Amino acid sequence: MSEKKILTTAAGIPVSDNQTSLTAGERGPTLLQDHYLLEKLAHFNRERIPERVVHAKATGAHGVFTVTNDITKYTKARLFSEVGKKTEMFGRFSTVAGEKGSADTVRDVRGFSLKFYTEEGNWDMVGNNTPVFFIRDAIKFPDFIHTQKREPQTNAPRDFAQWDFWSQVPEALHQVTILFSDRGIPMGIPYMNGYGSHTYSFINADNERFWVKFHFKTQQGIRCMPVDEAKKLAGECPDYHTIELFKAIERGDCPKWTLYVQIMPEKEAEEYRWNPFDLTKVWPHTDYPLIEVGVMELNRNPANYFAEVEQSAFSPANVVPGISFSPCKMLQARIFSYADAHRYRLGANFERLPINAPRAATVQNVYQRDGAMRFDDNGGADPNYEPNSMGGPVADPTYAEPPLRISGDADRYEQKRGVDDDYIQPGNLFRLMSPEQQERLVENISGSLGNVPKELQEKMIAHFRKTDENYGNGIARKLGLM
């Protein structure tokens, strides 16, 4: 028998009764003196932290990343330094639009966020299960997300807003095509790919820069959920993906992904046919083939959802030496907005929470002090300013990145490289689908587009025809407009 544990207040004071509150007489009112009751109710009122505006519904798991191929000619990042090297990591997988209690099996993009606890700090790969996004400029982001959320008057979901928005933002067509394809509803977390989506940069030991895209390809194979099954599960088992991932890891069926990169030499970005920093475009594999890097395995379930999944905080700003940013406008904005969201949700000390803190003790040497919930020794007696003469941490110029050449006038640029830019790649995707996949895509789009006014349907059909005549015509036929 284990030793009996005595229940205490949060201050550690033994509690005599957790079943009956203290009253003035058997039928009298409760006494304010029952501070244990007050503490219990007051803490309960404060159990929720602000929900993420996007990616609120999620599941997560711990794992390990193992290098299988030498890419040190492209990057000096220590986690890739030798074949066989293992790095602990944590992954969080989410839907985008739904609230924290919403169903898993809805048609939506999935968040694919990974934190690698490297010896030079945490690398967060904050991606999606799609290689592109709906927009290429973050100034449109809050508006776009509003179209995915509830209608302001009724608080009910709606189809109109997203089609109204997309009809005026043709750069969205590529992601819309992926969203309404079979891949818009994965069978489960193990059966989808993850993508860094943005272009990032690699920097090697000679301080040369390469542009890079990250692809985590599922080793379980892509599996998508038929629409009817997804609708049924959304009602009967709304946490289906969450439960299935947990059960799979519990029985030792640990999902794996192979990490590949596409590499573009720095100079080529200037002349490449596609703007390599446009988040609505991919780099075709024939131009930039996939290079294998390693394997990620999820092999341990969290012991506590709130501590590990809800409090996990990812930010694209967290890049380690050898990995860095690109001029992608969406990435540039996310460098700000993710950490900002976590400061709002979790407070200024969110990087000190166990799930977020770097694992190597030497890599949280900061002069930040104080702030709400600073629950460690707060730097003790160490100096809290720099420069100082007490041997406090100092910056190391050997970590400086090579300069990035910039030219031109400060202005607001649309960042297209051709008038037909937004139509070619969605058409390429449509053309690589089998006739059955095309049929389901057209059916899925028509199902949603059927709920909006005819003028809007016609506007969208004109856009789809520009990507591929058969694509637009298929939707027109389904909607009885041809």
> Which residues belong to the active site?
55, 128
Residues near ligand NDP (CB under 6 A):
131, 174, 178, 181-183, 193, 217, 222, 282-286, 425, 428-429, 432
Return the number of the residue (121 or 294) whose C-beta is nearest ligand NDP. Answer: 294
Return the number of the residue (97 or 264) whose C-beta is nearest ligand NDP. Answer: 264
Long-range contacts for 347-351 (Cβ within 8 Å, ≥24 apart)?
347/371, 347/372, 347/373, 348/372, 349/373, 349/374, 349/375, 350/311, 350/313, 351/313
All residues at 6 or more sequence positions from 39 whose CB lies less than 8 Å from its CB, including other chains: 9, 10
Return the number of the residue (193 or 311) whose C-beta is nearest ligand NDP. Answer: 193
8 Å CB contact between 328 and 213 = no
What tokens were used for 413? 């640029």
SS3 call for 428: helix
CB of 180 to ligand NDP, least distance (A): 9
Return the number of the residue (314 or 423) whose C-beta is nearest ligand NDP. Answer: 423
Return the number of the residue (142 or 265) whose C-beta is nearest ligand NDP. Answer: 265
Return the number of the residue (53 or 290) whose C-beta is nearest ligand NDP. Answer: 290
Q: Taking Cα atoms as reference points, which of 213, 207, 211 lies closest to residue 265?
A: 211
CB of 475 to ligand NDP, least distance (A): 16
CB of 183 to ligand NDP, least distance (A): 4
CB of 347 to ligand NDP, least distance (A): 37
Is the backbone peptide bond immediately before 387 cis, with ω within 30 degrees of 0? yes
Return the number of the residue (146 or 217) whose C-beta is nearest ligand NDP. Answer: 217
8 Å CB contact between 203 and 402 = yes
Angstrom distance (rounded) from CA 60 to CA 305: 8
8 Å CB contact between 350 and 356 = yes
**Helix 454-467 × helix 435-449 angle, to 10°:** 150
Return the number of the residue (55 or 174) whose C-beta is nearest ligand NDP. Answer: 174
All residues at 6 or more sequence positions from 378 whose CB lies less than 8 Å from its CB, including other chains: 369, 370
Query: Dmax over Cα atoms in the chain, in whole Å?
Result: 85
Amino acid (1-letter code) at residue 132: V
CB of 110 to ligand NDP, least distance (A): 12
CA distances from 189 to 116, 225, 332 (A): 19, 11, 28
CB of 354 to ligand NDP, least distance (A): 34
Angstrom distance (rounded) from CA 338 to CA 179: 23
268 CB-contact burial (10 Å; exposed 0-12 / middle 13-18 / buried 19+):
middle
CB of 284 to ligand NDP, least distance (A): 3
CB of 430 to ligand NDP, least distance (A): 9
Q: What are phi and psi of 109, to 5 degrees?
A: -70, 150
Amino acid (1-letter code) at residue 339: A
Return the number of the residue (56 or 475) whose C-beta is nearest ligand NDP. Answer: 475
Angstrom distance (rounded) from CA 343 to CA 313: 10
Angstrom distance (rounded) from CA 433 to CA 181: 9
Amino acid (1-letter code) at residue 13: I
CB of 429 to ligand NDP, least distance (A): 3
